[in-house]
Structure 1
């Protein structure tokens, strides 16, 4: 075997080893991305199931409409949007503001993560479209008021996520996979 042949074979072996290592690295990166997606979605689930978040949703659902109808609450929100000193208001308005901000900011962050591909949009809206859209419908008057009061870009990523969620629900009225048999279920209690 000549020296030239040995050098050629050694070069081919080196190229092959580098190519195999590159393919292995790509496969490993794919697995890491999948692991990161799973971790991100589990973290989202923990946040949306947290006591603070669920309490904020209950507060928002039970009183935001009445608060928005009150000029005192609206004056408080205007001051916040315009970065002015806030007027003295009833404690329930401060609690409402904090609840609404917690809910809105949570969905704003999720919208940002979805838009930038940090979490998979499809998986996110498949799991949480109802919750996102419900919160958006509850908050849209608050968002419109806030934008008019001086925050024209307020919660745009939340809005983006709500649009994705609405589109998902229109395209997928049920999350159950097509073509898969279902168990027969029968309600035994009267719906009074």
Structure 2
């Protein structure tokens, strides 16, 4: 399984078996009714941010990723999308040059009884799986953490808007500065900035990509 698939599927796999507990209930009306299958549509608002992150490694694509069984859950349909750049290894990269950039985004919409409270609980489970820290001002609530089972150094931003939960995971490597050295991970602070930017853009335009 590729790194792209691991990052994209890890969150769904980690929380698929978790029971959604609504507690006392939020009573808020749900804004979203489902998740489109077109990754090109889902990620359209964030293409500029993804392109900037990948830089010279970027190639046009439809952002499609293999789906997991959790995506067919009728109470919480989901879609994993993203891209891994470059599509082929870089030959003889210059010292410090970008070697790889991976972006994975999972969209999930909670349905059933009290879907807003259910989505809030789902975000809690996702944050726990990612050892997330609250504090990022994205959507109605959000966290920053590490994608479970993902590449070392990966960063994840998860957020909720009404009954939708979205996670954005990014990771990358650069060529060693010295000949024969091991690839260097992209600094966490840089990845956090990238993931937050993608998350903020998606949160602002979520109504344009998720049906009501």
| TM-score interval, normalised by the smaller of the two chains | under 0.3
Bigger helix fraction = 1
TM-score (norm 2): 0.19
TM-score (norm 1): 0.21
Please identify the structure whose Cα radius of gyration is greater. Answer: 1
Bigger strand fraction = 2
Q: Which has the higher contact order (CA 8 A, sep 6+)?
A: 2
